Structure 1
């Protein structure tokens, strides 16, 4: 099957190309970060190749079939309902691409927020979606990352149009990174119906909603690692059989699983993700999960977007450092930070220092750019 690269900066071009790749005869399309030369041909059934660089900066091209993408769209509709979707994320990432796929599968033309995200633009796009079939209003849905949710909630406090917009959606999927509990509470207070999603490009986007796997998705924990199986799994990494075999092992019965690299636990059928297996520093001989420290810090009002990174230290080897935007009252909250982390994680895990930045840098996916933050924190 032919493979063609599409300019993901033009979401309508991605939509047109996906229409052929998912619903038609192709060709398959390539989006995402530049990961070197791509082949002209891909395996039959391929619809989408997404090249991701993530927080590590190491590109990998994930091969997704039309069956996997469609399975994800149908399972989402079965869980949250059917209706019209608003694209408010970059189309070059799986979360944005899946909004378009869901629209194609549902038969509803998506609304597209063009240009840079802002609460005002989001509200205008949401207002334009009002429609009905046979006098029955059509439910609307969208997908966001936590930083967008926070900005919308901040704006909703002073702008009635934004408040009406966030209340108008039957469900707002939130993924990409953990949502701070404070943000979830604020959303519930104003009537914003959030659904926390968990997944990755390798699973065609979110496949676990509010801790519960979508239909046909299975979750297991092996050696504390979250592993996923089901019809939404990618075929693997383009041109990298070794990485594919390592990330997608098979059981003796032939079942394929995806090794997420996340630690977690399942309690009463609900998955709780604890953090990345590799996001750990060894400080003074103690292992410290930076994800656990960050989760504790983000429970403090005002620090919902703070980031914790590990940096080299001549005495301790590595230490956790808190990075926050300079317009927060992080300095005033410093003692509270150390108290909360000591209580929830342990005294050994308390951040050693605070680094203020003008603005926390983000990747195009909306996740913090941890590579840039580590570099800055190490030199600050």
Structure 2
């Protein structure tokens, strides 16, 4: 049986926990063992509640720990019969549903789970699937998401997929599904049919259970600069992370947490699916689209009143939307709204407190650290901090020498790049050399320290963020934190979102510009520029242009998508400069390749346009150059 959790409510508790070596704690060290222990202890208790339709949130499909355990074993047998072994990846791309979670855990039990964002275009999906080497893809059947099924059915050949496994929606009648369309060289099968031949209650897995240091999952990192990277997690990474998150006080035995993030994101799997298994809590999954379902927000507070969750986990944009929803229900059960994945604007924090009376509890983490590195403990909100580091993870602010790679830890309170070490540091990124797949952490892990790319400082075990190295605007060698600009704009009563980026400049390398969304069209850009000039004390950081958008581009999990803003700023600027040169018949498109901005010029005057734009630290390509490649 799992040991009782030690208390964690202060830095003193953290240090007391670490007095006991992690190896001496009776922890499950694989995700299958974690589920098996939970099923033994809370066999008939609900593990998860799946709501098929947010508009009818009272209706749900409940899955007990025992039922999930049995379902995972049966799916594991089915995957094994498809040839999935310990080193084989299974790609999963579907809206949230009970069988997607079960299939993910089953893939980890016999092989490696590789969840992907189904909204990615075929080019990005092909890159990810080829990296993982997956031959089996689990996705939504026609009844769950017909458009996605058709798209992946048509793309399976390009992806290198040999078997397409279809999931049914929760709440539907089993065994009534129509025959699936197939393609030459592709087998299509319903998940229910795949597990039909498995024993009703198999005694165990069809192969040896995973070991702690076996690979458990491949998670792509989003593809914000060029093609996505794919991070590899071990079972130890994920099991220790689940235990650590449970320590931070989410939901205890018999309590609930709202789980609205997509299961291709580490937060959804680790914080809202695996961590509850440590304590016997249950997760509430509000519709297959989760927080991306526009119908959810109008019903959200009544859903809270109905299910009485203690906690929820979401990104800042979700809390911004909820702040605008009148609280029309009793939400007194909700004590721990957790926010992460992106910096929390003060305006969103204030608006949520005003609307609900609840303080948002910030956390910090990244896919390469398995999920979370710090958490704000219940009742310990301190604006400006993303919480206390989690047990057995060391965190330092450091200066990393660009040439030698040497790490020099900085004094408490001194800002530097945040580095993490401990049992949740990932195994590395996937690499592929022909038919050979490998995992490589070189460059990102230095002497056991994971380089996060985030800037901040650590004081008394608390982490404070100060921006991201890659987001820094470097104007003539002067580093400008975009948050300096964004925070000032967000303080304007008409601004609801802001994203500051560097725009290419001949003399300074780049200069700051900002994109905003507004509550009213009556506010002018001139007024906003004057506001920024008056409130940004650093002259170099004052934005040279402000552009109003209908919406700031976001990733699927709600992170501001800065590359899209950089591309828009560059393309807009170069169009204006070409117009000044009398060149207006050239199409200008900006993109990122390998993290570097590339500008594509097409049309009859493309070569003349490239000559007119010489002097920028930007790669320009014309139609002729593209044709030669």
Quick check: TM above 0.5? yes
Q: Relative to 1, partners in 2 of residues 1:153 and 1:353: Cα closer, same or farther, differing over 3 Å?
A: same
- What residue is the counterpart of 2:152 in the other structure? none
- What residue is the counterpart of 1:145 in the other structure? 315
Partner of residue 354 from structure 1, selected from 533, 546, 569? 546
Partner of residue 266 from structure 2, selected from 94, 103, 112? 94
Distance 1:59 1:143 in 2: 24
Give the SS at the match of 2:515: strand
Query: Number of matched residues?
Result: 357
Unaligned runs of 5+ in 1: 131-138, 251-255
Q: Relative to 1, partners in 2 of residues 1:327 and 1:376: Cα closer, same or farther, differing over 3 Å?
A: farther
Does structure 2 retain, via aligned residues, the 8 Å contact 1:46–1:63? Answer: yes
- What residue is the counterpart of 1:17 in the other structure? 103
Partner of residue 129 from structure 1, selected from 300, 304, 307? 307
Partner of residue 206 from structure 1, selected from 366, 372, 385? 372
Distance 1:192 1:265 in 2: 27
- What residue is the counterpart of 1:135 in the other structure? none
Distance 1:338 1:8 in 2: 46
- What residue is the counterpart of 2:568 in the other structure? 376
Give the superposition deviation at 1:330: 6.6
Does structure 2 retain, via aligned residues, the 8 Å contact 1:18–1:47? Answer: no
Deviations along 1:17-72, whole A, 9 cap, x unmatched? 244356xx333210125324113599962222111224324311111122222222
Deviations along 1:232-258, whole A, 9 cap, x unmatched? 2211112376851211222xxxxx321
Distance 2:551 2:215 in 1: 39
- What residue is the counterpart of 1:196 in the other structure? 362
- What residue is the counterpart of 2:298 in the other structure? 120
Deviations along 1:193-216, whole A, 9 cap, x unmatched? 421011101112122113310121
Give the SS at the match of 1:292: helix
- What residue is the counterpart of 1:85 in the other structure? 257
Give the SS at the match of 2:431: coil
Bigger relative contact order, structure 1 or 2, given CA contacts below 8 A and separation 6+?
A: 1
- What residue is the counterpart of 2:425 in the other structure? 233
- What residue is the counterpart of 1:334 in the other structure? 529
* Equivalent residue runs for 1:152-231 within 5 Å: 152-156=322-326, 159-161=327-329, 164-165=330-331, 168-189=333-354, 190-209=356-375, 210-223=386-399, 224-231=416-423
- What residue is the counterpart of 1:133 in the other structure? none
Give the superposition deviation at 1:182: 2.5
Q: Relative to 1, partners in 2 of residues 1:317 and 1:234: Cα closer, same or farther, differing over 3 Å?
A: closer
Distance 1:180 1:197 in 2: 14
Distance 2:323 2:458 in 1: 31
Q: Relative to 1, partners in 2 of residues 1:188 and 1:358: Cα closer, same or farther, differing over 3 Å?
A: closer
Q: Relative to 1, partners in 2 of residues 1:290 and 1:226: Cα closer, same or farther, differing over 3 Å?
A: same
Relative to the length of structure 2, the TM-score reads: 0.53
Give the superposition deviation at 1:117: 3.2
* Equivalent residue runs for 1:218-297 within 5 Å: 218-223=394-399, 224-239=416-431, 244-250=441-447, 256-297=448-489
Deviations along 1:131-161, whole A, 9 cap, x unmatched? xxxxxxxx522111111111101113xx424
- Greater Rg over alpha carbons, structure: 2
Does structure 1 retain, via aligned residues, the 8 Å contact 2:431–2:439? Answer: no
Distance 1:20 1:170 in 2: 33
- What residue is the counterpart of 1:39 in the other structure? 133
1:26 aligns with 2:191: no
- What residue is the counterpart of 1:52 in the other structure? 221
Distance 1:110 1:220 in 2: 33
Q: Relative to 1, partners in 2 of residues 1:122 and 1:349: Cα closer, same or farther, differing over 3 Å?
A: same
- What residue is the counterpart of 1:253 in the other structure? none
Partner of residue 7 from structure 1, selected from 93, 100, 118? 93
Unaligned runs of 5+ in 2: 1-85, 118-124, 136-209, 376-385, 400-415, 433-437, 573-629
